[in-house]
Structure formats: C-alpha cells, structure tokens
Amino acid sequence: MAEVLGNGLSVRDLECTRAGRRVFSGVSFDVAPGDVVQVRGANGSGKSSLLRLLCGLLQPSRGEVQWCGQRIGARDAGFEDDVAYMGHADGLSGDLSVLENLHFCLHVAGRVGAEVELAEVLHDLRLAHRAHEHVRQLSQGQRRRLNLARVVLSRRRLWLLDEPCAGLDAQGEQHFDAYLAEHLRQGGLAVVTTHRDIGRDGPCAQALEMDSFNDADSLDSDHRP
C-alpha cells in the first residue's frame, strides 16, 4: 500500500504512455500544503503529460495519483473543486470580454461577489484598462496574465501550472512569483513546469527532473545519453 499524504498530493510509480510509446516511468513524489514542485526536463520529456495525468485529463498506464488520500481516477468530486489547471491552451473565451471571462471563472469557483479582489488582481496585472475588451484582442502575454488572474481568483488549493511564465514580461514574472508565494503561504500546493528558477528569490521548490524518468528511445536523439 502506497504511503499517502492525508492532506496533499501523492504520486506513486507513475508511468505515461502516449500513442503506444512509453514517455516516462517510475515517477513518485509528494506535495504537502505549502510546497511547490518545479518540473523540469528536455522538450518531449513529458512535463505537460505529467501535469495532465495529475489533473486527470490523461490516465496513467501504471501507478496512481492520490489527493488527500483518494485516488483521483475514482473521480472524487472534491478533487476537481480543489484544482486549478493552466495548460498550454488558455481556456479563455475570445468572444467574451476580460471581465466576462473572470466573472465566469468566479461563478464556476463559487466565488460570485469577489468583485473587490477581481478589481485588485486586474489592476496588479495591468489589465484593468482592457477589462471591457474582447479577449481575442489581447496579446499572448496579456492572455497569459488573464489566465494567471483566473487561477488566482479561483482560490483552489492545488495549482497545476504548465509554463505559466511563457510570454510574460519581467513584471508579469514578478507578479507570478508573488502570487505563488502567497498561495503557498496560505497552505496551497503547486506543481509548476518552468525553466525559470522559481526557488531563487521566492519559495524553496522541490525539483523534479523528468529526463531521469525517460526511456532512451522516448527522447530526441540529441538528448540521448
């Protein structure tokens, strides 16, 4: 029986197979409240696949992911209510305004009425002046900021963030660091794929190097040992 963190995320002997090819195997780690894991690795090493396994969008070919002692594959409703996932696609509606997207997010998170906080986050992320514009009119970096606002406002306990700083400028990165530090300070948990050293000035991150879990034939030829 795998050791389980009763109040956090527990990953045991996880294996990922995509299109019949084993991407990684033997991945095990725990994340406790207040902890962040930084996932690193070469292109194709399986960072995004790992995050999709953690949030239940992909199924492992072996091993399991547990949240607060329950296997997530069991589709425990509590897990989905606890997770904020940021993937490569931003999950925003281009035909809705910035404000409408965030109101929708607050609605889904059961936080209708958090208007003051919404206004503060929009101001912090320099999106307040674009609040009534359609999201499709924003730049990539602005959309990334809006996606960050979505995660922050959702107030979910577990953040699963795939390259959250891609496209952010230096100020956007600073805001990300501050929001992540505050999330952890409040007992939140996070798994983040990023090449930035998020432990440098902020929280101390546990590093997970995906390259060490790859099969040799799953890597591009120039990454093979």
Ligand X SMILES: Nc1ncnc2c1ncn2[C@@H]1O[C@H](COP(=O)(O)OP(=O)(O)OP(=O)(O)O)[C@@H](O)[C@H]1O
Nearest to 173 by CA among 185, 186, 161, 157: 161
201-208: long-range pairs with CB below 8 Å, 24+: 201/177, 202/177, 203/36, 205/36, 205/37, 205/38, 206/29, 206/31, 206/35, 206/36, 206/37, 206/38, 207/37, 207/38, 207/40, 208/27, 208/29, 208/37, 208/38, 208/39, 208/40
Q: How far is the CB of 222 from ligand X (least distance, A)?
A: 13
Length of the chain: 225
Q: Which is nearer to ligand X, 49 or 66 (CB)?
A: 49
Q: How far is the CB of 195 from ligand X (least distance, A)?
A: 9
Q: Does residue 46 touch ligand X according to CB under 6 A? A: yes
Q: Which is nearer to ligand X, 18 or 224 (CB)?
A: 18
Q: How far is the CB of 54 from ligand X (least distance, A)?
A: 12
Chosen residue from 3, 43, 89, 200 binding ligand X by CB under 6 A: 43
Chosen residue from 7, 13, 18, 137 binding ligand X by CB under 6 A: 18
10 Å CB burial of residue 134 (0-12, 13-18, 19+) is middle
Q: Does residue 44 touch ligand X according to CB under 6 A? A: yes
d(CA 141, CA 143) in angstroms, rounded, equals 5
Chosen residue from 49, 66, 147, 154 binding ligand X by CB under 6 A: 49
Q: Which is nearer to ligand X, 32 or 42 (CB)?
A: 42
Q: Which of residues 21-40 bind ligand X (CB under 6 A)?
A: 23
Q: Does residue 77 touch ligand X according to CB under 6 A? A: no
Rule CB under 6 A: which residues touch ligand X?
18-19, 23, 41, 43-49
